[in-house]
Amino acid sequence: MKPILFFSSLLAFSLNSGAADKPLLAIPGAVIYESKLNTAPAAPWKTAKGKWELVEGVMRGAEIPADKHGAVTRLPNKLQDFVIEYEFKFEGAKSTSLSINAVKDHMARIMITPVSVTVQRDDNDHEGPDKSVIFARFPAKLTPGTWHKVRLEMVGDSMLGQVDDLIAWGSSELFKTAKLAPGFTVGGQSVDFRNLSIREATQNPEWNAVKTTLPKPGENVTQPAKPAAKGKGKKKAA
């Protein structure tokens, strides 16, 4: 592809989700895990909290009030550089996320509510001085009962999160360490999931040019639609 056409394509991508197949941070490689999520949740999935079941041919997660914690289910994979893609739809829940753990504690996530999408590096110690870093928080309108697509790319010290045509990226030294236990969380009841794939990845050789077409980390950070509940100390993420 000639350079002028390449940059034209990138601009079109940033404005139109129809160009979703254009490389961004990562070039996908071999399949690590793939499932339509059309069978009852079972091994290798490990459920920590909540109710996870097969409903109308897809996996559904719902918080159990007695848990006093969002629903969580994870795969036991240890990852390095990867691309994750899947689809979800709200069925009454107040939030959902794609969460990646570090060797100790959390690493990164895409947090989604019906009115916002947040791409962030997670707080990695909870009891210490570390804090989460929000790379972007976009206003959104994610209608219940409608399928939406999520993509997370992590290569080297960078991550890129995408929900439909909302895209953000950021970097951290933490991302160079091993990534563990990719999983879904659900706050409230319920969220449906389907068509999950996890693939190995290498960095797109044009990434330095691509990221100049995207918002800079921290450039698009809107305030949450509702203020967080007040409490003592940090609230541990799922």
Encode pLDDT of 209-233 as tens digits: 999 999 999 999 988 766 444 444 4
Mean pLDDT for 70-82 is 97
Cis bond leading into 190, ω under 30°?
A: yes
Residue 225: per-residue pLDDT: 63
Higher pLDDT, 129 or 112: 112
101 in any annotated domain: yes
Q: Tell me whether residue 17 is in a domain.
A: no
Could you tell me what percent of the chain has a pLDDT over 70? Answer: 85
Residue 82 counted as domain residue: yes
Distance CA 119, CA 129 (A): 21
Q: What tens digit of pLDDT does each residue of 16-62 get?
A: 444 446 899 999 999 999 999 999 999 999 999 999 999 999 999 99
Q: If pLDDT is split at 50, 70 and 90, which confidence band does 205 have?
A: very high
Can you give the CATH number for the domain in which 59 is found? 2.60.120.560
pLDDT at residue 9 in the model: 37
Q: Is the pLDDT of residue 201 over 50?
A: yes
Q: Collapsing DSSP states into helix, strand and coil, what is residue 224?
A: coil
**Residue 224 placed within a domain:** no
User: Residue 31: inside a domain, yes or no?
Assistant: yes
Tell me if 112 is assigned to some domain: yes
Dihedral sign computed on CA atoms, order 83, 34, 123, 97: positive
Query: Residue 199: which pLDDT band, with cuts at 50, 70 and 90?
Result: very high
Structural domain total, the chain: 1
pLDDT in tens, 85-102: 999 999 999 999 999 999
Give the chain's mean pLDDT: 89
pLDDT in tens, 170-182: 999 999 999 999 9
**For residues 157 and 207, what is the distance between their CA atoms, to the nearest angstrom?**
13
| Banded pLDDT at 120 (limits 50, 70, 90) | very high
Please report whether residue 15 resides in a domain: no
Query: Residue 129: pLDDT band by 50, 70, 90 thresholds?
Result: confident
Determine contact, residues 84/196, Cβ cutoff 8 Å. yes
Structural domain boundaries, residue 202: 26-213
In one letter, which amino acid is 161? G
pLDDT score of 228: 44
Rg of the chain in Å (alpha carbons): 17
18 located within any domain: no
Give the C-alpha separation, 162 to 148, whole Å: 10
Tokens in use for 150? 């999520």
Alpha-carbon span 21 to 226, nearest angstrom: 34
At 231, list the tokens. 């409490």
Q: Is the pLDDT of residue 191 over 50?
A: yes
User: How many angstroms separate the Cα of 48 from the Cα of each of 3, 103, 106, 213, 234?
Assistant: 48, 17, 15, 39, 20
What is the model's pTM? 0.86
Half-sphere exposure at residue 179, Cβ-oriented, CA atoms within 13 angstroms? 33
pLDDT of residue 175: 98
Cβ atoms < 10 Å from Cβ of 63: 25
